[in-house]
Structure 1
Amino acid sequence: MLVEFAGGLLARSLALVADAGHMLTDAAALALAWAAVRIATRPADAKRSFGYQRLRVLATFVNGCALLFIVAWIAFEAIARLLNPVPVNASAILWIGTLGFAVNLLVFAMLRRGDSHDMNVSAATMHVLSDLLGSAAAIVAALVILWTGWMPIDPLLSLFVSALIVKTAISLVRRSAHILMEGSPEWLDQGELRRTLEQKIPAIRDVHHVHTWSVGPHETLLTMHALVNGSADQAMVLKDTKALLAERFGITHATIQIEVEDCVDKDCAEEPPIKRARG
């Protein structure tokens, strides 16, 4: 990445600089994945009862915003060069792009020997494949310039590689912002959760005041109220509810308020209606 960035500045190639920016997105993504493992091992304390997981979400948000600024700069420079073409050192672009392609090909081969069922390895492999595409774009730009002298190919391909960065950056910003805003996990259907609890646990008459959010990318937290029959064994209802939440939805951190009368909280009355199918 550093070689491509320095070479891009020296050769005045926007395609190399754009590919270096794309490699930065991949390096940042892999670094965050590695840091997540390290940070998650740190215990919670009195000031941070949930530990340090939210820190990686904040870092992802800042990183994604920074990447969008990089893309905006590359796009601005590319449009300027399309309007006023600038001579570039095609030979330098070719050698540096070829070096980047060889390195990415080597890393790809190393990852292919890893555990293909591991999600981190699979994600890393996809990142390296996109890097291969970026290096190939730089090589194509150099060859076109050497053969035809057509300079606009460099900024055009830099825009193409920048599009790869935009997709990654927007995804990072959107997902991290959703977590920072205490949004409900995208994979979780609260209506289905309510219906499942009401159908599978006979003592529960109604589930309401449900709130779900994520501390980090993978840990989901839940609070809810459960209206039960007056004769129900509340301890058993609580135990069965927690077991069902863990087994069916993977939620292991749940705070549940058991009620035998209608909920008196103001928020309960203001909840949007959820269509329930009692079986």
Structure 2
Amino acid sequence: MSAHGHEHGHHDHSHTSSDAEGRAKALGWAIAITLGFAGVEAVGGWWAGSLALLGDAGHMVTDTVALALSFLAARLAQRPPSPEMSYGWRRAEVLAALLNAVFMLILVVALGLAAIGRLQQPVPVQGGVVMLIAAIGLGVNLLVLWQLHGTHSHALNMRGAVLHVIGDLLGSVAALIAGLVVWLTGWTPIDPLLTLLICGLILVSAGRLLRDVIRVLMEATPPGTDLDAVRRRLGAVEGVVAVHDLHVWTLAGDRLLLSAHLSVDSDQNWPATLMAAQRRLRDEFGIGHATLQPESPQYRQLARAADDVLDDHCH
């Protein structure tokens, strides 16, 4: 028996397209706001002599590139499946998240080296100017974060974009604190020290994003999905004798897919068994795209006979 059950519905595709369109719109606004303020922060950082401001400006420039990648990926994700791309372009968002994580790691190294240099050779910092620009930057980053809020942040692409914005926000906070300390005490090492602290925080977040991207690309079982529990619940469906060749993966970190072979006691009741299995996967595990292959007793007998013939031929 080679027939199989396959469920994902047209509503699933339209919902995914709507999500991607919302992400693309939010990213478009975020790019415009981020790029505009990066120039202001770069000029202010150069004038005030603040590494924290210059670093945050550089961070925002890389963020603009990263957000542009995310924007392109979100647009590609709206394209429907085709004979050449049967799953569509959802994985483009994962690739964008991968590039974003790499950009973040490169930025952390660059800022870290610059901060160490500033600790060895301190330079004058104008605390008042730093505070003013950092306060404006904090407001800008909060606005960008609000634009991205609620756009399916579980998608890896959006997680990468949000990570960059949070890194910017932390950079603005660090610059604000550094400006305040310099303005009150004149102690300039606070500027590179806070820069190193922010580098550490960004490094942890970028590392987690990179780990999750690699898991998706390797088609690992998504976090939070208990494969043994899925196997047990499928095996408990009436008419199912055993479950094997079970796989659960995700295209972009937010939508689960499943394939499995179900040994059934009779092929006559397969339509009812298929519907019950798909309903259980959808309701209990949030898996709306499942491909299930039935194996009846007759099929298993034929498969065993074929295996015996193959073994005899090999020997």
Q: TM-score, normalised by structure 2?
A: 0.69
Q: Does 1:139 align with 2:200?
A: no
In 1, the alpha carbon distance for the partners of 2:166 and 2:80 equals 36
- Cα distance in 2 between the residues matched to 1:32 and 1:246: 32
Which of 148, 153, 156 aligns to 2:190? It is 153
Equivalence for 1:190: 227
Query: Could you say which residue in structure 2 is the equivalent of 1:65?
Result: 102
Kindly report which structure 2 residues correspond to 1:39-54, keeping only aligned pairs within 5 A, or say none. 39-54=76-91
- Quote the Cα distance in structure 1 between the aligned partners of 2:196 and 2:60: 15
The residue type equivalent to 2:274 in the other structure is: L
Q: What is the match of residue 241 of structure 1?
A: 277
Q: Distance in 2 between matches of 1:115 and 1:173?
A: 20
What's the counterpart of residue 270 of structure 1? Answer: none
Match of 2:260 in 1: 224
Decide whether aligned partners of structure 1 residues 34 and 222 sit closer, same or farther in structure 2, where only a CA change above 3 A counts. Answer: same
Would the aligned equivalents of 2:262 and 2:292 in 1 still touch at CA under 8 Å?
Answer: yes
Aligned to 1:20: 57
Could you tell me which residue of structure 1 aligns to residue 289 of structure 2? Answer: 253
Gaps of 5+ in 2: 1-37, 154-158, 308-315
Amino acid corresponding to residue 18 of structure 1 in structure 2: G
Once superposed, what is the RMSD of the aligned Cα atoms?
A: 3.4
**Secondary structure of 1:20's match?**
helix
CA distance 1:70–1:115, shift in 2 (3 Å):
closer
Residue identity matched to 1:208 = H
Q: 1:227, 1:259 within 8 Å by CA — same for their partners in 2?
A: yes
Q: Residue 215 of structure 1: CA displacement?
A: 1.4
Contact preservation (8 Å) 1:19, 1:161 = no
- State which drifts further: 28-37 or 221-230: 28-37
Specify every segment of 5 or more residues in structure 1 that has no aligned partner in the other structure, as ranges: 267-279
2:24 alignment partner in structure 1: none
Larger relative helix fraction: 2
- What displacement does 1:25 show? 7.5
CA distance in 1, matches of 2:214, 2:245: 23
Q: Which amino acid aligns with 1:141?
A: A
Cα distance in 2 for residues equivalent to 1:26 and 1:167:
17
TM-score where L is the length of structure 1: 0.77
Per-residue CA distance 1:16-60 (angstroms, 9 max, x = gap): 133335556876776676556533321111211111110110011
Cα distance in 2 between the residues matched to 1:96 and 1:115: 23
Sequence identity, in percent? 39
Q: Determine if contact 1:22/1:161 at 8 Å carries over to the other structure.
A: no
1:271 alignment partner in structure 2: none
Among 180, 195, 211, the alignment partner of 2:247 is: 211
Structure 2 letter corresponding to 1:226:
L
Is the Cα–Cα contact under 8 Å of residues 148 and 162 in structure 2 kept in the other structure?
Answer: no
Structure 1 residue 133 displacement after superposition: 4.5
| AA in 2 matched with 1:77 | A
**8 Å CA contact retained: 2:62, 2:103:** no
Measure, in 1, the Cα distance between the counterparts of 2:162 and 2:113.
30
Equivalenced residues, count: 260
Seen in structure 2, the aligned counterparts of structure 1 residues 210 and 2 have a Cα distance that, compared at 3 Å, is farther
Give the Cα–Cα distance (whole angstroms) in 2 for the partners of residues 127 and 70 of structure 1: 11
